[in-house]
Amino acid sequence: MTRLISPPQPPSGPPTPRPRAILARAPGRALTLIALASGFVAVVAVTLQPAPSSSPPPPKISPASPRHRVAIRQPIQTPRVETGKVDAQGHSITVSCGSCHATSSPRPDTRQSAELDEFHQGLHYQHGSLSCLSCHDAANYDQLRLADGRGVPFPDAMSLCAQCHGPQYRDYSHGSHGGMTGYWDLSRGPRQRNHCVDCHDPHAPQFPIVLPAFPLPADRGLKPNPSSASHHG
């Protein structure tokens, strides 16, 4: 008797994918995940970027205008003494200060004009309690002397004045003391400043008191006083 064998029935439910099918779909899924991750990173990067500034860009700084120099007059040179004689070409013969002072001993206590009985008779001297050798160098009469004993050339006499007249030198440095000519705006032109001795006698530096001349000039918009005119002829 022949027994009939029925064929195997397929299992119920969705079919199980074959290994080759799984391997075939895996690269596609990996690419999809990579694309999604890249898009997420791009969105985060754009979100974290700072907002553009609404302020205007900084102005461009133009190059500075060329500045002209400030020159200080040099009226003082190393002094020479006239001898009253001339050379073969007719030029005056002068000698240095040291030529005469080398023949006598220094006198550090000379503080008044009346004591000048050998040299510089008639010199008006009124400079506080300073003696001649407070500013002149007894070791070299052809230069000046600072308070610390250092020598200074005659053209640099302003440094000698500044060591005692500090407030005046401070104001001079800021332009509020001393006369000048030229331009305040150095981009337009140079400026020349006066030296201390342009206005002050180094041996009697007190500036004399001056009064305005009367009558006042009519071109200033002021009318002269008739009574004052009679006093001036």
Residue 62 has pLDDT above 60, yes or no: no
Quick: pLDDT tens for 145-167: 999 999 999 999 999 999 999 99
Mean pLDDT, to the nearest integer, of 24-28? Answer: 53
| 3-class DSSP state of 142 | coil
Q: Is 122 left (phi over 0), alpha (psi -120 to 50) or beta?
A: left
231 vs 133, which has greater pLDDT? Answer: 133
Mean pLDDT, to the nearest integer, of 19-37? Answer: 55
**Separation between Cα atoms, residue 142 and residue 156, nearest integer Å:** 13
Contact 208, 222 (CB under 8 A): no
Which residue stretches of the chain are H helix?
A: 19-48, 97-101, 157-162, 166-173, 196-199, 226-231
Quick: pLDDT tens for 160-201: 999 999 999 999 998 889 888 999 899 999 999 999 998 899
Quick: pLDDT tens for 204-224: 888 777 776 666 555 555 555
Rg of the chain over all Cα atoms, to the nearest angstrom: 49
Of 26-35, 50-59, 112-121, minimum mean pLDDT range = 50-59
Residue 49 has pLDDT above 70, yes or no: no
Residue 233 has pLDDT above 50, yes or no: no
Closest CA to 147 of 129, 167, 162: 162
| 3-class DSSP state of 178 | coil
Quick: pLDDT tens for 113-147: 888 887 788 888 888 889 999 999 999 999 999 99
Q: How many residues does the chain have?
A: 233
Residue 231 has pLDDT above 90, yes or no: no
- Percent of the chain exceeding pLDDT 70 equals 63
Query: pTM for this structure?
Result: 0.58
User: What residue spans define the domains of the chain?
Assistant: 74-199
Closest CA to 163 of 151, 150, 146, 180: 146
Element (H, E) at 94: strand 92-96
What pLDDT is stored for residue 194 in this prediction? Answer: 92
For residue 166 the two structure tokens come to: 């500090």
Q: What average pLDDT is seen over the chain?
A: 77
Q: Is 182 left (phi over 0), alpha (psi -120 to 50) or beta?
A: left
Quick: pLDDT tens for 78-118: 888 888 999 999 999 999 999 988 888 888 888 888 888 87
